[in-house]
Structure formats: C-alpha cells, structure tokens
Amino acid sequence: MQKSKTAIVWFTNNLRVNDNKALYEACEKYERVIGVYCFNPNLHEKTQFGFKKTEKFRAKFTIESVEELRENLKTLNISLFLCYEHPQLFLPKFCLKHNADALFFQKEFTSEETTEINDVKKSIPENIEVFEFYDQFLFDPSDLPFKIPQTPQIFTEFRKKVEKYSKVNNVLSPVKKSEDNLLDEQNETITLKTLGLSNFIISTKTAFPFKGGENSALKRLQEYFFKSENLSFYKKTRNGLLGTEYSSKFSPWLANGCISAKTIYWKVKEYEKDIKKNDSTYWLIFELIWRDYFKYISMKHGNDLFKLEGIRQTNYEWKSTQTLVQKWINGETNEPFVNANMIELKETGWMSNRGRQNVASYFAKELLLDWRIGAAYFESMLLDYDVHSNYGNWQYVAGVGNDPRNRKFNVKLQAERYDSNGKFQRTWLQPMLF
Ligand SMILES: Cc1cc2nc3c(=O)[nH]c(=O)nc-3n(C[C@H](O)[C@H](O)[C@H](O)COP(=O)(O)OP(=O)(O)OC[C@H]3O[C@@H](n4cnc5c(N)ncnc54)[C@H](O)[C@@H]3O)c2cc1C
C-alpha cells in the first residue's frame, strides 16, 4: 500500500464494484482512491451512416448504471465524479486538482477505444503511473491455450480449447476504504437532457423492463436463477420472442460492465451444485463462451471487424439504397416477422437473438444492403450494444465473418417455427398490417 498516495479509477465499460480489477488493484495499492466517469460527447454524435452512436435507450440505461455505481462506491467510502466531456480533456485537470499519482482503468483493444485511451495517456501529467487491465472476458487473455493470432476461426474449435485448457478465475470482492477517503465536493448530475436527449416512457410491451445498474443486474440474476429457477429451462426457451423469461437478459448489463461474465459463471456453478445441473445450465455458459469468442476474434482481426469485406475478405455486390434501409428500420418490408422485430427495436431498444439473426440476414442476404449500415443502426439503438458481439455477429450473418456454413435465414419458415400462433407479430404490428 502506497501511504497517502492517490489513485484515480477511470470507469468506462466496467460500471461495477464487484469483480472489478482496476478498482480492486487501486484500492489494494493506494490509500486514497477517487472514481471518475466521463460521458463522452463523441458517443452522442452522428456517424458516417447518419445514426447517432448512442440513442436514448442506452443513454438512459448508462445514466442509471452510473448513478447506481456512485451509490455503491459511496458504501465503500469512494467518491465518483461525473462529467460530460472528453476524457482526454477532463482527466488531466482532475488528476492535477487531486494530486493524483496513478490512473487505473479497463484495457481495451478496438480502434476508437484505444485511440481514446492513448489520448488520455498523452494528456495526463508524465509522473502519473498508468495501470490498465483486461477485465471483460470469461477467460482471461493470459489463460488462453493459444496466442491471439492463433485464435481458432471456428467457434467449436475455440470452445473446445478453452473448455479443456483454460480456467475461469475467481471473482474479486470490493475493498472498503476508510471514511476520510470520501470527498465532500459538489458533484455533477447527468441527465438525458445534458446529453441532448429528451425524456421518454418505455413501451409497456417491452421484453426488457429492467433498469441499468449493478444492483439491478444482480437482482435479475438472483431472480432468473434462484427464484424462478428458469435457468433450468434456458436451452428450451432461449429462442423465444416475448416476455422477460425466455432468456437471461443479462446482455445490457454485461455490455456496460454492471456485471462480469465471471460472476455469472460462478453463480451457474453454485446453481448446479445447489439446485440443478443440466444441459440448460451448461448452455448459458456456452453462450458466454460465444461472447468471449467474438471478443477474441475482434482482438485477432483488429479493424477488419468494421470493413465491408469482413474478416473473411469476401467481396459481394452491396447496395446502400436509402429507401430500402428506411423501410427496414420502420418495419415496412414485405416480411411481417422482420417488421415486428424492427418495430420492437425502435420502440424498446431490445430485440431477441432469434429476431436479430432474421432481420440481419434479411438486410444483408435478401435486400443485399451494406451490412455495416445495419450494424451501425443496431449500434445506435441496442440497449446491449457491444462492439465485438455486434460487429462479429453482423459479419457472421452477412457471410463475411466466420460462419463456416454461410447460411441465409428463410424468414417465413422462421416465423412459422418460432411464432407459430403469430402472437409476437400481433404484439408489434398494427392489425391491418399483419
Ligand atoms: C446481428 C446481431 C447483433 C448482435 N449484437 C449484439 C450486441 O451488440 N451486444 C450483445 O451483447 N449481443 C449481441 N448479439 C448477440 C445476442 O443476440 C445477444 O447477446 C442476446 O440476444 C442477448 O440476450 P440475453 O442476454 O437474454 O441472452 P442469453 O440467451 O440469455 O445469453 C446469455 C449471454 O450470452 C451472450 N450471448 C448470447 N448469444 C450471443 C451471441 N450470439 N454472440 C455473443 N454473445 C452472445 C450474451 O452476453 C448474453 O447476455 C447480436 C446478435 C446478432 C445476430
């Protein structure tokens, strides 16, 4: 422990106090610890395809998550300061003001995130020590049985290797600081208005009626696992479309780091020991391995994740017809099943995995539209947007990623299979359109 030395923890997509490596290490090594979260103005600007990077759904979810983080940090006697400013502008001033000796944060590897981190490193005073940690995986990069460039291209190969040779580390418990660590200073409150967005009321039909924040994530985990025991049926229900219970709904909290994948993993293990172990409990872990897989594929391929020809380097004839894109967004295509899913996304920021696969396949393989436009729209709208899962899945479905079978979904058959009584479509479509 460095006596009276001060560490700043810069929170990004790790909005939790439990199992947070940067926070844990700062608290263990430094006597004084202060938290910072920057709402980055870049995230509210329009990007090359004309969509705002972050729309109202995820913005609201982030604000709720940060507020809950502030409360949870307070119980550990740590203050969290908020700003609506670029981190490379805010952090140098903040570090100087608080006489900081070190800066702790989560390590990233996609281009925009690493540029931001490098800008911060360049802008802070030279004497400040920087500590960054990979902390978004189930299997830590240092525990992989292969080097990143050798990451298997095929999911099954990746899964078999990590299941056999890697381990999931234990979770880290939060460290409480002494009472005099808490700072008594005026602190900003960020609202949707601050971010240039209006307040809104979410549709009562949403399949994701939950709030952002670590406590909400842990409550959902407790309810989905131990209260309802729905985890025991996950493999059968996971392709569902309606309601809160067909799947875990963990993704928005995983994406902004309100909960760690390791925490979920160890709770599944507890459930298997105390309640039941079956193919459903295994399948939830299987899906978390998909999540890791897309992260490592993204780490391996770098900026190819965002390129039209994808990591497979395949050239197709892509269109970018504005009217077709707009019809897809508004749920006005010739396919009611696609339309219902797109309206759900527009009204709630949520769409099921089954829905996402169908609307993405329709966009890229039926309408032959540039898949990056669809991905950018998802990035804007999704509550659970995660750069690796979004761009990785889009590439996979569009046939430029790593689906060895390069399938096209038959939307009509999918609707018959997964919405045989039409209830999902009726929920989101006007009766005359269906
Ligand atoms: C075109 C397309 C875009 C997508 N974009 C995103 C995205 O931006 N963010 C995101 O988190 N997921 C994305 N997914 C993956 C998947 O649809 C969501 O993770 C899932 O629907 C979230 O619901 P859940 O938490 O109830 O999942 P569950 O079925 O309960 O699964 C548990 C967890 O496993 C992980 N997982 C499940 N399926 C996948 C998958 N196919 N790829 C990666 N991880 C998975 C998620 O972290 C999820 O929370 C996308 C899928 C497609 C087809």
Please say which residue of 271, 302, 333 terminates a domain. 302
Q: Are residues 276 and 373 in the same domain?
A: no
Same-domain status, 249 and 279: yes
Which residues, 6 or more positions from 60, have their beta carbon under 8 angstroms from its beta carbon? Answer: 192, 200, 212
Q: Are residues 87 and 51 in the same domain?
A: yes
Local confidence band at 357 (pLDDT 50, 70, 90 cut-offs): very high
Are residues 371 and 322 part of one domain? yes
Query: How far does CA 124 lie from the centroid of its chain?
Result: 28
311: CATH: 1.10.579.10
> Does 287 share its domain with 380?
no
**Whole-number pLDDT of residue 431:** 59
How high is the pLDDT of residue 2? Answer: 61
256, two tokens:
């902004």
Rounded distance from Cα 378 to ligand 1 centre (Å): 12
333 and 423 fall within a common domain: yes
287 alpha carbon – ligand 1 mean position (Å): 8
258 lines ligand 1 (CB under 6 A): no
Ligand 1 contact via 172 beta carbon (within 6 Å): no
| 197 assigned to some structural domain | no
Q: Output the pLDDT for position 407.
A: 83
CATH assignment at residue 282:
1.25.40.80
Higher per-residue confidence, 407 vs 118: 118
The answer to the question of residue 172 being in a domain is no
Cα angle 20, 22, 28 (rounded to 5 degrees) comes to 95
Q: What is the mean pLDDT of residues 130-157?
A: 97
The answer on 34 and 83 residing in a single domain is yes
Do both 345 and 260 map to the same domain?
no
Nearest CA to ligand 1 atom 49: 251
Q: In terms of domains, do 7 and 131 share one? A: yes
What's the CA-to-centroid distance between 85 and ligand 1, angstroms? Answer: 30
Mean pLDDT for the chain overall? 96
Could you give the number of structural domains in the chain?
A: 3
The reply to whether 395 falls in a domain is: yes
pLDDT > 90 in the chain, percent: 95
* Domain-embedded: residue 194: no
pTM: 0.98
Q: Which residues pair with 104 in a beta bridge?
A: 9, 131
Distance CA 138, CA 86 (A): 29
191 in a domain, yes or no? no
pLDDT given for residue 260 in this prediction: 98
Task: Examine residue 186 and state whether it is found in any structural domain, yes or no.
Answer: no
pLDDT of res. 4: 74
**Nearest alpha-carbon partner for 319 in 372, 389, 269:** 372
Is residue 372 in contact with ligand 1, taking CB distance under 6 Å? no
Listed residues 113, 135, 157: the one ending a domain = 135
129 and 77, same structural domain?
A: yes
The DSSP line for 224-293 is IIIIS-GGGGHHHHTT--SSSSSS---HHHHHTTSS-HHHHHHHHHHHHHHT--SHHHHHHHHHHHHHHH
Q: Is 248 in the pocket of ligand 1 (CB under 6 A)?
A: yes
pLDDT tens for each residue of 45-93: 999 999 999 999 999 999 999 999 999 999 999 999 999 999 999 999 9
pLDDT above 90 for 1: no
Q: Say yes or no: CB of residue 357 within 6 Å of ligand 1.
A: yes
On whether residue 171 sits in a domain, the answer given is no
Hey, which residues does 319 pair with through a beta bridge? 369
From 138, 353, 388, mutation site for ligand 1 pocket: most ligand atoms within 8 A of C-beta: 353
Query: Which tens digit of pLDDT belongs to each residue from 284-343?
Result: 999 999 999 999 999 999 999 999 999 999 989 999 999 999 999 999 999 999 999 999
Taking only the tens place, the pLDDT of each residue in 247-299 is 999 999 999 999 999 999 999 999 999 999 999 999 999 999 999 999 999 99
- Binding site membership of 12 for ligand 1 (Cβ less than 6 Å): no
397 ligand 1 Cβ < 6 A: yes
313 and 424 inside one domain:
yes
Give the CATH number, domain containing residue 60. Answer: 3.40.50.620
Nearest alpha carbon to residue 8 among 92, 116, 75? 92
- Domain end marker among 135, 165, 193: 135
Q: Are 20 and 122 part of one and the same domain?
A: yes
For 173-213, what is each residue's pLDDT tens digit? 999 999 999 998 777 899 999 999 999 999 999 999 999 99
Report the chain's terminal Cα–Cα distance, integer Å. 65
Tell whether the model's pLDDT for residue 405 goes beyond 90. Answer: no
- Answer yes or no: is 263 within a domain: yes
Q: Which domain holds residue 255?
A: 214-302
Q: How far apart are CA 316 and CA 334, in angstroms?
A: 23
pLDDT for residue 433 is more than 60: no
